[in-house]
Structure 1
Amino acid sequence: MIYVDGVPFHTNSESLSQGSDMLLALMEHPSLVSASSSCKAIPERKFRISEESGSERLRQSKCVYIFQREYATVDPAAVDLVGTDEATTCVGLAIRNCASGMTSVAHMDSPKVVDIGLTQMLALVVNQDSKAELDVHLIGGFDDASPQDANFGTRSEIKEKSEGYSFPLCAKIVETLQKSRERFHLQTLHVLQHNTSRDSQGNACPIFRGFLVETSTGSVIPTSFDRTSRCPDEIVRRIRLTSCFEDPSWNGKLLETYDTQTDRFVIAPCSWTESLVHFALTVRQLSDSEILLSCSTSPFGEGPDFVDNERRLFDYLIQYPDWRQTFPLRQPRVFERTVNGTWTRKE
């Protein structure tokens, strides 16, 4: 159940669109509006891996980074920071056990992964303590609905355009939290119109695309990451997201990447098909604007490195068309943390 200001949150609606009605009511709650305003006022942190080396290098904060459709649960005894970015129509969800400090962060990209995904996140955060007090933060998604285009297409396409991608996802998350037996204290709801700005052409785009959670305090900081900090195994993890849509074993699930008990990244093997490689060969020839329009659900809302990231993904698939070159003998790719807090692959 969702709590706001320590009180269970209820609406008078008994309609079938309960998640939507509850989301709209929560978006107007004075405490959550105030929290969103406070979040908006926080300067966005630019997170990058220190380039210092040797004896001059300070201890790097122990961070766990989450890509789209991934989740990770971290122990504050082993990890200082956990976060994600690159969320446009996606939503970052953070859940923290107020007593133990155990924190789980997910990068939700579809209503289809919310039910099982929440169960995955809670497995180690709650740890059979049904009375655990859990702080919850939702950041990401924006007002991406396109009412001007909503009169064209099939019925499902018209509905999708009129609602956008972010609203149904946020509504599903809220509905699932409310129906759960756990006590979710909603602290931040910085989504949809609260997280929307306009560019010089009037196009809607997100104010924040990511955040970090400080595991020791539970503080949430709007954050953007550079390429050095989206690690380890950036390109392979991006490809795994793409290839998982062809793997029925991942249906409805968030991608498991980080091992909480050992503080290691274990990238499970995945395979990609000839059709995906052919797609990479075809799209790699397109212009930047064509790639943006072909590969993004929100072309006006993406960060400046979106197209470059896509091109690097395509280049990898073209260079390694056989997935067995990346996962010999179908073994996972394992990364261990160094004494400086960075990652090194275990051969």
Structure 2
Amino acid sequence: MIYVDGLPLTSTDPSFKGSELLVFLLEHPTLIAASNRLKAMPEKDVPFSPAKYLYVFQREYATVDPSLVEFVGTDEATTCVGLVICNRNTKMISISHMDFVTVGDMGLTQMLSLVVDHDVDAALDVHLIGSFEDKPIQLINGSNQSGGRKIIPSGYSLPLCLKIVEALQHRREKFQLQTFCVLSHNTKRDLNGSAMPIISGFVVETSSGSVMPACFDKTSRCPDEIVRRIRVTVSSEDPYWDGKLLETYDTLCDRIVVAPCTWVLDWGKIAFSLQQLSDSEILMRCSTSPDAEAPDFVENERRIWSYLIKHPDWTHTFPGRKPRIFERNPTGGWSRCK
């Protein structure tokens, strides 16, 4: 169940759920103030550093122990949502980069597996950051006696936020919602009037649990960047990952463990065909928000396709369907284990 200001969001009216609950959260003064404080913070550039960072790609999740990891974060979110769950007692933190409604329920279960440790009464601080109004929000009057309002679902961001809120509300754990910087609270417009996210990335300082806007680069989105991006592209066709977040990190051993994913040989042909598209065509065909993508979006897509053209057989990347494992080295980077 979701709590705000220490109070549970409950109602005797059974219609107070879903979109009406979402409207309530978007209009809550405490959450509005928290969003404004987050947006007022300067964005932190995160280059390669000897500090113990951990980066989470789209559709991935990781649960970290603050004694082993100093900072954990994600970026490149447009219509996606970054979800952070922190256990106040154990200080364990789980972070995910959710992109589709199909991973909401199972993804939340994955994240909580090492955070609550079977203690459903644990106080869990929660932050939701990302997504924007890729489609204008339309409100209609609800049917409940309290006069609540409902949202008409549209676009990509809104259905995802609805799903995450519903998944949190329906569970037994106590989720203390600290940040709700999504949708209207995370939307700005460029010179052409196109909607864009204000915050597309963030980092969590694990020792304090504090969250700040952040932007990573090629040196800090590591290790195994291209293979992890490919898993995002092809995992929807691998039945093993149906409804799940992608596993990336060994919490107890502080290792990157890129769990395997399969793809059909036709992906090599598909990648070759996509490589022939112009940059503008790639944005229109491959993005849920073409006007809001980062400048390196097209370059990253082309690097993915180049790899798939060169390695169309997934067994080259994951021989024997074994994970790709990386350990931290003395310089602060990652080295692949043989």
How far off its partner does 1:188 sit?
0.2
Deviation at 1:61, TM superposition (A): 1.3
* 2:289 pairs with 1:298: yes
CA contact 1:36–1:189 (8 Å) conserved in 2: yes
Q: Deviations over 1:197-217 (max 9, x none)?
A: 001110001011111111110
Tell me which residue corresponds to 1:340.
Answer: 331
Aligned residues of 1:65 and 1:231 also touching (Cα < 8 A): yes
Identity percentage over the alignment? Answer: 60
Q: Deviations over 1:256-313 (max 9, x none)?
A: 1101011111112222212221111011011111111110000011111100100100
Taking the aligned partners of 1:11 and 1:107, their CA distance within structure 2 comes to 30
Q: 1:147 to 1:217 in 2, by over 3 A?
A: closer
Name the counterpart of 1:204: 195
1:107 is matched by which residue type in structure 2?
H
Q: Which residue of 1 aligns with 2:145?
A: none
Query: For 1:17-28, what aligned pairs fall within 5 Å after superposition?
Result: 18-28=17-27
TM-score of the two chains, using structure 1 as the length reference = 0.91
TM-score normalised per structure 2: 0.93
Aligned to 2:234: 243
Following the alignment from structure 2 to structure 1, what is the Cα–Cα distance between the partners of residues 178 and 164? 14
Displacement of 1:187 in angstroms is 0.3
Of 90, 102, 124, which aligns to 1:100?
Answer: 90
Output one character per residue of 1:157-184: Cα deviation in whole Å (capped at 9) or x when no partner: xxxx961111111111111111111111
**Which 4+ stretches in 1 moved above 6 angstroms?**
none
Q: Are 1:125 and 2:124 counterparts?
A: no
Give the total of aligned pairs: 326
Once the two structures are TM-superposed, the CA of residue 122 in structure 1 deviates from its matched residue by: 0.5
CA distance in 1, matches of 2:137, 2:127: 28
Gaps of 5+ in 2: 139-151
Verify: 1:8 aligned to 2:8, yes or no: yes
Residue 143 of structure 2 is aligned to residue 144 of structure 1: no
Structure 2 CA distance for aligned equivalents of residues 141 and 188 of structure 1: 13
Alignment map for 1:1-347 (pairs within 5 Å): 1-11=1-11, 13-15=13-15, 18-50=17-49, 60-145=50-135, 163-347=154-338
Deviation at 1:12, TM superposition (A): 6.3
Q: Shift in Å at residue 111 of structure 1?
A: 1.3
CA deviation digits over 1:99-138, x for unaligned, max 9? 1110000001111101011111001100111221000000
Letter in 2 for 1:76: P
Query: How far is 1:194 from its partner?
Result: 0.5
- Give the AA of the match of 2:291: F
Query: What is the distance in 2 between the residues matched to 1:181 and 1:329?
Result: 39
CA RMSD of aligned residues (A): 1.7
